[in-house]
Amino acid sequence: MTVDLDARRSRHSVTLRGVRIDYWQYSAASVDTQLSTAPAPRTLLVVHGFRGDHHGLERVVEQLPGLRVIMPDLPGFGTSAALIDAPHDVPAYGRFLADFMDALDLGTGTVLLGHSFGSIVTSHFVAEHPGKVRELILINPIAAPALEGPKGILSKLAEFYYLASARLPARAGNALLRSKTIVHLMSVTMAKSKDKALLRFIHQQHHAYFSLFADRDMLLQSFRASVGGTVRQVASQLTLPVLLIAGADDEIATLPTQYKLLELLPDAKLVVISAVGHLIHYETPVPAAGAIAAFLAQQPESSDVQPGQSR
C-alpha cells in the first residue's frame, strides 16, 4: 500500500524565531486555466497529532486533489527543530501557527485542519485569532480531558511512561520512548481495521515516524499539553464554520463527547464514520476527504484570493 503524491508534493523549510521548520506543499491537480472558469483552489493548512508528522495525513490529502495543501511538521516533531524560547504547550504551538501563516503569507481564505492533538492546537489558535482562517476542520477532535472517564487510568499510565522516560538516563529514556514493542502496542491498540494489508501499512508508518521527535523534554511537554487541553475549552469562541469528523469506535475521542462538543459550537456539523477509531486519517481517508469536500462546497464563495494565486 502506497500514497501517490509525488506529482503534487514538494518540500520546503522556513526559520521562525530561530527554529527551522520543515513543511510540505501539495499542489492542487493541474487544470487548464485558459479553458476553465473554476476559481483558484482553496488552501488547506493541516496540523498533525501528537508524535505524528506530515506523513500521517497524506492518505487524506491524496483524496483531495482540488485543494492546495500545506503540512508542517510541528516544532519538535518529524524533521522540524524544537522550540528554543518556549515550552511545547498549546499557547506556544498557537504562536508557531501564527508565525507560520505570516511567513507563508497565508490569507484569511485559508482552511485550517487539525487531527487529534492538532485539533486542540488549531481550535485554541482560532479562538485566539478570530478571522485568521475561514473554516476549521477537526478530525478525531479531543472534546474532553484525557484524564477523565473510563480511559483516564490509561492516560495516567501514559503520563508515567513519558515522565519516567524523561527522568531515566538519556540512553535508557530514549530507548524506552523509541521501543519498537511499545510503539507497536500503541499502533495495535488504536487500529480497528481487519484488513491485513492496511494494518501492515499503519504499523509501518508508526514504526517509521512515531519516534521522530527532538528530545525527551519536549515530548513530555507536548504529551502533557495533549492530555490537558481540549477543544471544549474554547468551543463557544469558535464562531466560524466548523466540521467535526469522528470515529464511531474512537476510544480516545469518544463519540458521546463529540455530540456534547457539537452542542457547544455556534456553527458546526458532525460527520461520524463507522467502524473506525482514532486513526481516521489512515483507515478511512476516502469518507473523511468526502466529508471535507462536501463541507467546503457548502460554504459561501469568497472573494479572498490566496497570495500567489489569481482568479
Q: What is the pLDDT of residue 37?
A: 58
Distances (CA, A) of 160 to 191, 220, 247: 23, 10, 27
Residue 265, φ and ψ in degrees, nearest 5: -85, 130
3-class state of residue 218 by DSSP: helix
Find cell 502506497 and name the residue. 2
**Vertex 228: Cα angle to 227 and 232 (nearest 5):** 100
Question: Among candidates 89, 133, 137, 128, which has minimal Cα distance to 237?
Answer: 128
Question: Among candidates 220, 4, 240, 202, which has minimal Cα distance to 113?
Answer: 240
pLDDT tens series, the chain, 311 aa: 788 899 999 999 999 999 999 999 999 987 554 555 567 899 999 999 999 999 999 999 999 999 999 999 999 999 999 999 899 999 999 999 999 999 999 999 999 999 999 999 999 999 999 999 999 999 999 999 876 655 667 778 888 899 999 999 999 999 999 999 999 999 998 999 999 999 999 999 999 999 999 999 999 999 999 999 999 999 999 999 999 999 999 999 999 999 999 999 999 999 999 999 999 999 999 999 999 999 999 998 764 544 444 32
How far apart (Å, rounded) are the C-alpha atoms in residues 24 and 13?
8
Task: Point out which residues pair with 242 in neighbouring strands.
Answer: 136, 268
> What is the pTM for the complete model shown?
0.93
Q: What is the pLDDT of residue 309?
A: 43
Q: What is the pLDDT of residue 152?
A: 66
- Cα 221 to chain center, whole Å? 17
3-class state of residue 24 by DSSP: strand
